[in-house]
Amino acid sequence: METTQQDRLAALLARIGPADEAARAEAARRWAACAKPLGSLGLLETALEDIAALTGSADIALQPREVLVFCADNGVVAQGVAQSDSSVTRIVTRNLAVHNTSVCQMAAAARCTVVPVDMGVEDFPATPGVLDRRIANGTADMTQGPAMSREQAAQGILTGIELVRQHKEAGVRLFATGEMGIGNTTTASAVACVLLGQPVEAMTGRGAGLSDEGLRRKKAAIAKALAVNAPDPADPLGVLAAVGGFDIAGMCGAFLGGALYGVPVLADGVISAVAALLAVRLCPAAAKAILASHVSAEPAGHLLLAALDKKPLITAGMRLGEGTGAVAAMPLLDMALAVYAGCYTFSESGIPTYLPLGGEDAAL
């Protein structure tokens, strides 16, 4: 019997194990030895401890690094859910390749390479600087039936997993997830509604800046898609196939690949967080690879991070996409690592070692 994409995915998910708590404890010990108040770098300390637990080593490296920007079009755009048409996806994808977009400028400042990935940009030709991982010429209109088949959903996830494997073998030690695709806040909101059991009103925002009428059409399209497809929250692959996008599938795979191959992956905003939640619903152990960069200004932002049990490093009202929030968090991790690796210790300084004294604010 021929092995399906779903079979391949299931076999890889079965290989993802728990975090290494001994490595986490060693990283915590190193932080405690730094001559500073205990826990005083807050979530920056926790992030490095999480990375140690993921990689199995308290010796942490954050370079080289990449932001994988998964690009794809969404058939639901036909329902008037966005203020732009699909041609904008092509334009931005081309500009990602020549380093002109917002994330490219931020990535240059953060010493991060931008890797655009064509997962299914409508009518997009082979383009230098863009990885061709096309699944189809965009998804189908989810208001008329499933956005993609289950096999296509699995293929998209496997694409993200495989990219992480290949690029880790090439030396990458930190990934960020990004996306580009007109209409993808609609698909992300639909997936979030199902996974979180929330109404459309609570999960749906204006995306790139919809008018009141555009927002009404967006909410109506999501409601229709959920009614037509009736996705089962207990079947995350089915949810992705019914109302997701190829970009979400690729990002989901990147998180799973990070967990499988021991490389941290920064989630970006609400679309990336939806992909992260899909990854965790497919394999709970995948949570060990996910770092929350920021909390999106979109309505679902806080709820998604709460469902992931992740706290954001940045709260700045960002909602640009492309992986910009994830890249913005990289310099914070660099500064944390500088202290972790280079700060003088209590024993070196002659300062008596700080001890935890208890109380609710003991770590503050």
Give residue 197's identity as a one-letter amino acid code: G
Half-sphere exposure of 163 (CA within 13 A, CB side): 32
Is 45 considered catalytic here? no
Backbone angles phi, psi at 262, to 5 degrees: 75, 45
Q: Nearest-5° angle of CA 275, CA 276, CA 279?
A: 90
Taking only Cα atoms into account, the Rg of the chain, rounded to an integer number of angstroms, comes to 20
What CA–CA distance (Å, rounded) separates 66 from 325? 13
297: alpha, beta or left? (left if phi > 0; alpha if psi -120 to 50): alpha
Strands (E), the chain: 65-72, 113-120, 131-132, 174-180, 265-267, 290-292
* Residue 258 contacts residue 175 (beta carbons within 8 Å): yes
Q: State the catalytic residue, choosing from 162, 322, 348, 360.
A: 322
**In contact, 177 and 270? CB cutoff 8 Å:** no
Just list the catalytic residues.
322
